Amino acid sequence: MTEQIIKKLNDSKAARWGALAIVSFTMLCGYFIADVMAPLKPMIEEQLHWTSSEYGFFTSAYGWFNVFLLMLFFGGIILDKFGVRFTGIMAASIMVIGTALKFYALSTPSLADTTLFGWKTQIMLAAIGFAIFGVGVEIAGITVTKVIVKWFKGKEIALAMGLQVATARIGTGLALGFSAPIAAALGHVSKSVFVGLILIVIGLLTFIIYTFLDKRLDKSLKDSSLAPEDPFKFSDVTNILTNKGWWYIAILCVLFYSAVFPFLKYASDLMVNKFGVAEEWAGLIPAILPFGTILFTPVFGGIYDKKGKGVVIMIIGSILISAVHLIFALPFVNQVIFAYFLMVVLGIGFSLVPSAMWPSVPKIIPENKLGTAYALIFLIQNVGLMFVPGIIGVVLDSTNPGIAEQIAAGNKTAVYNYTVPMLIFAGLSILSIFIGFLLKAEDKKKGYGIDLPNIQQN
């Protein structure tokens, strides 16, 4: 009887893939908001008169509260203590609040006439809204990751995580490809954010629907003969932080994502300034990257499930990312066809690393500590996502003196030189290759099984 009940839930393909589809849609909505401003940098400079440093300051706000207030750390503890239902609804609600504040700031021109904490009030409020949103979407990310472990452990876990990442990247692709056309059609950059606000409200409602399915899963597991795991204890944090394998994954994560996500914030501007693409369509080229992950991430996740070689997959992905950034830095690579090709390769590299990295964590950390373990990884990742965009903005202004003022004045011939920023991105990804080899050595030493297949043979 127990086996029959379980098969109707997490052993049922329809149930577990249905649950995955629901929570993945919530993340799609969140990722749309995360990147909705990326293609708008040229329009923001023209309409709102922001400099690259101001845009970088706003973009860096994503990680403020997660890093300085340790909100991700507390979010992970809340997740392990109170479960995915409570934490997911809380996270999605925070996303709605942050997005609403950002929309208000961008759609209120008078806020640009005053200052707050030394910045234009418009920029500061938009940044605070983005920081609040960042708390919500990152906690939602660790929640959804634990949802997948809950439904897919011992099954197609890497494929499931790959499909979730791929679905979320649809949100990124939609933002990169259509945010600028929406803003151009409706006459203001804030209109794209309003579209995102509607989406994130729908995402909240979607997750609420998932909670009913999750409750059924918990009941079936409670009724089964499966022994419950030990409850999370605060002392478990020390166990996580003293695990060398966990640290290698965390460092690889921050280096890899700092070489990709901040790059996407500037990629559309790169297309305009280096390759001469029209600003309202420049986002379509970077959109190749997330749309490429829709295909490749599940494929590589499926390979990892069946064949293993997780660390090798991560190292190959980091090598591809490094090569792309180095080629983008070459001054003579300025033909649009190269931009398309490099984005395809970047998409492959961007698919390889997450497809193996996230499913490897449960091989190192017990399930009752996973929420906190993922939260701490995301916290470290947010350090990079907070500092790198701001650094790139400052570097752009310092290596291109007077360009921001010329663009604001309507000079269509003024362009940024992106050589130094691309070298910074390349350096980060090269370091991630080195960390990948250290992780491989640690896996061989401790026998975590990161290079072994995920699907358990009965």
Task: Please write the tens of the pLDDT for every residue from 308-346.
Answer: 899 999 999 999 999 999 999 999 998 999 999 999 999
Residues 260-284: what's their mean pLDDT? 89
- Separation between Cα atoms, residue 114 and residue 104, nearest integer Å: 15
Return the percentage of the chain with pLDDT > 70, whole number.
Answer: 95
Name the residue with higher pLDDT: 127 or 176. Answer: 127
pLDDT of 232: 60
Task: Please write the tens of the pLDDT for every residue from 57-87.
Answer: 999 999 899 989 989 889 988 998 899 999 9
Q: C-alpha angle 35/37/164, rounded to 5°?
A: 10
pLDDT band at 294 (very low <50, low <70, confident <90, very high): confident
Q: What 3 state SS string does the chain have?
A: CHHHHHHCCCCCHHHHHHHHHHHHHHHHHHHHHHHCCHHHHHHHHHHCCCCHHHHHHHHHHHHHHHHHCCHHHHHHHHHHHHHHHHHHHHHHHHHHHHHHHHHHHHCCHHHHHCEECCEEHHHHHHHHHHHHHHHHHHHHHHHHHHHHHHHHCCCCHHHHHHHHHHHHHHHHHHHHHHHHHHHHHHCCCHHHHHHHHHHHHHHHHHHHHHHHHHHHHHHHHHHCCCCCCCCCCCCHHHHHHCCHHHHHHHHHHHHHHHCCHHHHHHHHHHHHHHHCCCCCCHHHCCCHHHHHHHHHHHHHHHHHHHHCCHHHHHHHHHHHHHHHHHHHHCCCCCCHHHHHHHHHHHHHHHHHHHHHHHHHHHHCCCHHHHHHHHHHHHHHHHHHHHHHHHHHHHHHHHHCCCHHHHHHCCCCCCCCCCHHHHHHHHHHHHHHHHHHHHHHHHHHHHCCCCCCCCCCCC
pLDDT of 224: 54
pLDDT of 3: 42
Half-sphere exposure at residue 207, Cβ-oriented, CA atoms within 13 angstroms: 30
Answer whether 355's CB lies under 8 Å from 158's CB: yes
First CA to last CA distance, the chain: 20
Please count the residues of the chain.
458
pLDDT of 148: 92
Q: Kindly report the backbone phi and psi dihedral angles of residue 319, in degrees, each rounded to the nearest multiple of 5, phi listed first.
A: -65, -45
- Separation between Cα atoms, residue 130 and residue 61, nearest integer Å: 6
With a cut of 90, say whether residue 9 has pLDDT above it. no
CB atoms within 10 A of CB 3: 10
- Separation between Cα atoms, residue 423 and residue 266, nearest integer Å: 14
Average pLDDT over all residues of the chain: 89
Among residues 209, 205, 170, 174, the alpha carbon closest in space to that of 192 is found at 174
With a cut of 50, say whether residue 1 has pLDDT above it. no
With a cut of 90, say whether residue 371 has pLDDT above it. no
Domains within the chain, CATH numbers bracketed: 2-224+236-446 (1.20.1250.20)
With a cut of 70, say whether residue 456 has pLDDT above it. no
Task: Please write the tens of the pLDDT for every residue from 216-261.
Answer: 888 877 755 444 455 666 677 888 999 999 999 999 999 999 999 8
- Separation between Cα atoms, residue 44 and residue 58, nearest integer Å: 12
Q: Is the dihedral of CA 116, 117, 120, 122 positive or negative?
A: negative
The structure tokens 């950390």 sit at: 365
pLDDT of 395: 94
pLDDT of 457: 59
- Separation between Cα atoms, residue 263 and residue 389, nearest integer Å: 8
pTM of the model: 0.80
Q: Kindly report the backbone phi and psi dihedral angles of residue 115, in degrees, each rounded to the nearest multiple of 5, phi listed first.
A: -120, 155
pLDDT of 407: 81
pLDDT of 231: 60
pLDDT band at 278 (very low <50, low <70, confident <90, very high): confident
Return the percentage of the chain with pLDDT > 90, whole number.
Answer: 60
CB atoms within 10 A of CB 347: 26
CB atoms within 10 A of CB 232: 19
Residues 406-433: what's their mean pLDDT? 91
- Separation between Cα atoms, residue 178 and residue 107, nearest integer Å: 19
With a cut of 90, say whether residue 140 has pLDDT above it. yes
Residues 6-19: what's their mean pLDDT? 77
- Separation between Cα atoms, residue 317 and residue 336, nearest integer Å: 23
pLDDT of 432: 96
Answer whether 268's CB lies under 8 Å from 326's CB: no
pLDDT of 2: 41
Two structure tokens written together for 305: 């499930």
